[in-house]
A and B are shown apart, each in its own frame.
Chain A
């Protein structure tokens, strides 16, 4: 430490400059940052080890643990040295950057101000040393001075580094997230292994902009360093639970939403006139985020371009459907892994896990994950964490990539082939088959059945606002299958002639509930009333041990404007100008839950089973066997 101390004043400003402009020069600092992070991680492992599954983020801590944090001095005492290094644990400085970005929040948040006051009192000497700027010792003023500091240092200009403040803070926020995640993963690792098994990787040359580097750079940016002493780590610990939006986060919890907002990359503005029953679900104005996100492209360098692309496609609904989304995501992750280089003095298993985690949280911000995607992520993280430590980078990467390929192949492509074979056995000559929306598996069942010269007719039922059935209709007609097209309301009119109903599913839950595109439940219900068998086709990787009774507790809200505007019908403009009235609410649900008694049989690659057997499949073919 002492040896490094002299470096500090030199590196500090440099780092900052580099952080926003030239990645190359940052390479030097990146190496120094790593021990800090891992140390912080190790330290954080001292706190109750949180069982972090990739999909499930640990529940919020109790206030008591947060209270205990300020006394977490071992960590705190360790931190200053990191700052001195000039490449602070990615976490702490960026945290403080958040503070100065949201200076107004600062006073209001009790926990944080407490932490800060501790900071101000304890650490100021060092910080003043670092900054060559007087920092007042009184806590309330800390934030003020910090702002000034940052402004001043920016003003000093370090040339190109003087990025607009807002952007700077966003990038930094990003960095915070990253770092926290890294720390978390490390903590988990440490907790699991009982010690950090360090496989020394040869430091990569700076040619490749290692992601970790980038992470560190903004965080290392000068002005903030001094102010992020021990307190920052404590805060980080407290904040862990909001590192990424929980897949089933309740959005009516204002404090959490606020915290989430601050760190969100995708700038979503809340839709107005939200439906009371669905306050717990996120609903955003659509169409506003895209340009915003595009303009941020060059700052979001932490996100791999392929993930970014997939995220944008999710956001704009270019890719939809459970399998398509899952495959797109996995392929993007494959590229991430391909381009990944383990930063020096880090282990691949920890760092890559964090990296994937950050990509996932970006995707969640674009659109909530489907169950299938959650399962795929769970699989990937499992694979990453179970990699043997003695593998070289190259081996590990190729192994992961082949794992991903295997998942796509086995769980999705081969599984749907098996489903097709099962499903076709239920089609007889002269059947009239009804389907709703555009389920990919069902489409291939029809195509295959047509291919083997079965003689049948298809009824495609469609609904607003997405009209996905039209695409299916077109593809089936082009194959030469006789089709009848109608809308959901007319389903009881056509149900008389139907002999089988084939439906797709977004996921099948443990109580047999089929969670699928909204309207599926209606079709299944009408079919049930008309005594027509309902076959739900679903790959087993979409099964989930969760249970759900209604479609309200967990769902996804789409763009409300899609309700008031009827696409392709310009004559229907009754709600023009009324959509903003305070009395009207527009509800665009995306999924619904079909009760298990409407489902005659589930067609999976494991065979055809009654919906009551879902828990058996989940247990017997268990998560472990499914995901490893």
Chain B
């Protein structure tokens, strides 16, 4: 598939910036992968899962640090599982209805009131998804929606064992769910920024580091609600994206002060709230964020300033980090930090027995441990760091956490 190799190349060359763009493009790619997948007559869901897994594995390998790719692949796998379950429930009901006429005595073994397809779907869903307060509450109203589809399925199920129709329906519903996912990724800014007024009060002083589109939209939204507040922007060396953010904020008429990263500690004592974006949120509530964030979080903790992370749900990663500062990091070119021309003599590899005396370290990301984060604001609302694993469990199925091993075992 040319699309896939193109996208892999882009990921490898780091042509795609930001987890939002990556997530969106990954979802689009997987959608086209699914639509191009030939559906076998049996075990269609497994076929789709395998296809997505095969592509997903390559994508993740292309840029293991861009966790959004893995997140989206897992989300799509989860969607396939969910859709498969609900459609199998439908077909199961269809079968049941057809079988009902054949042997009536089977009914008692199914339980008194005949299990509706919806109930089966809900049960399947709850096996797929660990129990949580949300799903408990959903259990009531949930059957209503599938029952409609099942009634639609009824009529189709009546036409009995039209396997290809079921297969098409699975594919179709998966693609539709992925469309919803893409929509969700696009809408996450609005969903998050809707909550801005709940968190920003009049005359607040907000500090942020680097540039995050989510933070920008969040601040815009508060500004639109006529909250007047002041923003300190730490420039975020070595990319200096803070300058871009500052420019965007002053265009909207926000009072903005640009500070150097080194002045963070000096200024944090006069700040009411730190609002930052993230690269990824790990299952333990830790945050992978642009470099410098750990320093900022420590300073915020020192002065008891709330440290708020705003991130769309596509940044929720179901993995638990191990040594993330090193393993989930990326070292960039030293040219951001020093002038090669100026230091060419110091960087001479031949001069000192092969090993240079000078190393330049230019990491991209920082890991902020969960205890430093006061609040996560995602498109589903505000969450505590300790609650992130639950939230994450809503989006991913446990079987997909490790994509690689699964795919090798299934292959």
Where the two chains meet, the residues of A that have a C-beta atom closer than 8 Å to any C-beta of B are: 275-277, 462-465, 470, 473-474, 477-478, 480-494, 496, 518-519, 521-522, 525-526, 529, 550-552, 555, 563-564, 566, 568-569, 572, 574-575, 578, 581, 583-589, 592-593, 595
Report the separation of the CA atoms of residues A569 and B338 in the bound assembly, to the nearest whole angstrom.
10
* Residue B170 interfacial (CB < 8 Å): no
* Residue B262 interfacial (CB < 8 Å): yes
A586–B257 CB distance below 8 A:
yes
Q: Would A585 and B257 be within 8 Å (CB), given that A486-B362, A575-B243 are in contact?
A: yes
Partner of A522, one of B240, B243, B264: B264
Contacts of B379 in A (CB 8 A): none
Say how far A279's CB is from chain B's closest CB, in angstroms: 13
Report the separation of the CA atoms of residues A478 and B342 in the bound assembly, to the nearest whole angstrom.
13
A584–B250 CB distance below 8 A:
yes
* Residue B360 interfacial (CB < 8 Å): yes
A selection of 18 A-B contacts at a CB cut-off of 8 Å is: A463-B262, A464-B237, A480-B352, A483-B358, A484-B360, A486-B362, A490-B363, A490-B366, A493-B366, A522-B265, A569-B240, A581-B250, A587-B263, A589-B259, A589-B260, A589-B262, A589-B267, A592-B266
CB-nearest residue of chain A to B347? A477
Contacts of B237 in A (CB 8 A): 463-464, 487-489
* Residue B339 interfacial (CB < 8 Å): yes
CB-nearest residue of chain A to B255? A583
Contacts of A483 in B (CB 8 A): 357-359
A525–B295 CB distance below 8 A:
yes
What are the interface flags for B330-360 relative to A under an 8 Å C-beta threshold, 1 for contact and 0 otherwise? 0000101111001100100000100001111
Report the separation of the CA atoms of residues A494 and B294 in the bound assembly, to the nearest whole angstrom.
12
Minimum-distance CB pairs A-B, first 7: A519-B262, A489-B292, A551-B266, A574-B243, A521-B265, A492-B294, A592-B266
If A492-B366, A493-B329, A575-B258 are given as contacts, then 16 extra A-B residue pairs at C-beta distance below 8 Å, sorted by A number, are A464-B261, A470-B342, A480-B357, A491-B295, A492-B295, A493-B325, A494-B361, A518-B263, A522-B261, A525-B299, A552-B266, A574-B247, A583-B254, A584-B246, A587-B260, A587-B267
* Residue B235 interfacial (CB < 8 Å): yes
A493–B359 CB distance below 8 A:
no
B240–A566 CB distance below 8 A:
yes
Contacts of B334 in A (CB 8 A): 485
For chain B, residues 286 to 342, give those with C-beta under 8 angstroms from any C-beta of chain A: 291-292, 294-295, 298-299, 302, 325-326, 329, 334, 336-339, 342
* Residue B18 interfacial (CB < 8 Å): no
Contacts of B299 in A (CB 8 A): 522, 525
* Residue B238 interfacial (CB < 8 Å): yes
Q: Would A474 and B343 be within 8 Å (CB), given that A486-B337, A486-B362, A487-B337 are in contact?
A: yes
A489–B295 CB distance below 8 A:
yes
For chain B, residues 201 to 246, give those with C-beta under 8 angstroms from any C-beta of chain A: 230, 235-238, 240, 243-244, 246
A277–B243 CB distance below 8 A:
no
* Residue B269 interfacial (CB < 8 Å): yes
A564–B298 CB distance below 8 A:
no
* Residue B131 interfacial (CB < 8 Å): no
Q: Would A482 and B357 be within 8 Å (CB), given that A586-B257, A589-B263 are in contact?
A: yes
Number of A-B contacts (CB under 8 A): 190
CB-nearest residue of chain B to A578? B247
Q: Is the interface of B mostly helix, strand, loop or mixed?
A: mixed
Say how far A562's CB is from chain B's closest CB, in angstroms: 9
Contacts of B291 in A (CB 8 A): 489-490, 493
* Residue B91 interfacial (CB < 8 Å): no
Report the separation of the CA atoms of residues A481 and B243 in the bound assembly, to the nearest whole angstrom.
36
Report the separation of the CA atoms of residues A276 and B264 in the bound assembly, to the nearest whole angstrom.
16
Report the separation of the CA atoms of residues A463 and B326 in the bound assembly, to the nearest whole angstrom.
22
A529–B298 CB distance below 8 A:
yes
Contacts of A481 in B (CB 8 A): 357
* Residue B160 interfacial (CB < 8 Å): no
Say how far B233's CB is from chain A's closest CB, in angstroms: 9
Q: Would A575 and B247 be within 8 Å (CB), given that A525-B298, A583-B255 are in contact?
A: yes
* Residue B253 interfacial (CB < 8 Å): yes
* Residue B199 interfacial (CB < 8 Å): no
B260–A585 CB distance below 8 A:
no
For chain B, residues 345 to 394, give those with C-beta under 8 angstroms from any C-beta of chain A: 346, 352, 357-363, 366
A552–B294 CB distance below 8 A:
no
Say how far A497's CB is from chain B's closest CB, in angstroms: 10
B357–A477 CB distance below 8 A:
yes
Report the separation of the CA atoms of residues A492 and B262 in the bound assembly, to the nearest whole angstrom.
13
A518–B258 CB distance below 8 A:
no
A526–B343 CB distance below 8 A:
no
A522–B262 CB distance below 8 A:
yes
Contacts of B397 in A (CB 8 A): none
Say how far A71's CB is from chain B's closest CB, in angstroms: 47
CB-nearest residue of chain A to B360? A485
B295–A583 CB distance below 8 A:
no
Report the separation of the CA atoms of residues A529 and B294 in the bound assembly, to the nearest whole angstrom.
10
CB-nearest residue of chain B to A587? B259
CB-nearest residue of chain B to A276? B230
A585–B256 CB distance below 8 A:
yes
Report the separation of the CA atoms of residues A502 and B250 in the bound assembly, to the nearest whole angstrom.
39
CB-nearest residue of chain B to A584? B250
B258–A488 CB distance below 8 A:
no
Report the separation of the CA atoms of residues A525 and B346 in the bound assembly, to the nearest whole angstrom.
30
CB-nearest residue of chain B to A493? B363
CB-nearest residue of chain B to A551? B266
Q: Would A490 and B243 be within 8 Å (CB), given that A474-B346, A587-B257, A589-B263 are in contact?
A: no
Contacts of B326 in A (CB 8 A): 496
Report the separation of the CA atoms of residues A477 and B299 in the bound assembly, to the nearest whole angstrom.
32
Contacts of A494 in B (CB 8 A): 361
Contacts of A588 in B (CB 8 A): 260
Report the separation of the CA atoms of residues A551 and B266 in the bound assembly, to the nearest whole angstrom.
5
Report the separation of the CA atoms of residues A322 and B381 in the bound assembly, to the nearest whole angstrom.
51
Contacts of A566 in B (CB 8 A): 240, 243
B325–A470 CB distance below 8 A:
no
CB-nearest residue of chain A to B292? A489
Contacts of A463 in B (CB 8 A): 237, 260-262
Report the separation of the CA atoms of residues A555 and B267 in the bound assembly, to the nearest whole angstrom.
12
* Residue B270 interfacial (CB < 8 Å): yes
Contacts of A462 in B (CB 8 A): 337
A585–B338 CB distance below 8 A:
no
A464–B266 CB distance below 8 A:
no
Q: Would A593 and B266 be within 8 Å (CB), given that A463-B260, A470-B338 are in contact?
A: yes
Contacts of A275 in B (CB 8 A): 257
B255–A592 CB distance below 8 A:
no
Q: Would A583 and B253 be within 8 Å (CB), given that A578-B247, A588-B260 are in contact?
A: yes
Contacts of B259 in A (CB 8 A): 563, 587, 589
Partner of B240, one of A490, A525, A526, A572: A572
Report the separation of the CA atoms of residues A521 and B255 in the bound assembly, to the nearest whole angstrom.
26
Say how far B13's CB is from chain A's closest CB, in angstroms: 18
A592–B359 CB distance below 8 A:
no
CB-nearest residue of chain B to A579? B258
Find the residue from B352, B357, B360 having the highest chain A CB count within 10 A. Answer: B357
Find the residue from B262, B267, B334 having the highest chain A CB count within 10 A. Answer: B262
Say how far B298's CB is from chain A's closest CB, in angstroms: 5
Q: Would A552 and B260 be within 8 Å (CB), given that A482-B357, A522-B295, A578-B247 are in contact?
A: no
Report the separation of the CA atoms of residues A71 and B246 in the bound assembly, to the nearest whole angstrom.
58
Q: Would A485 and B260 be within 8 Å (CB), given that A474-B343, A525-B302, A550-B269 are in contact?
A: no
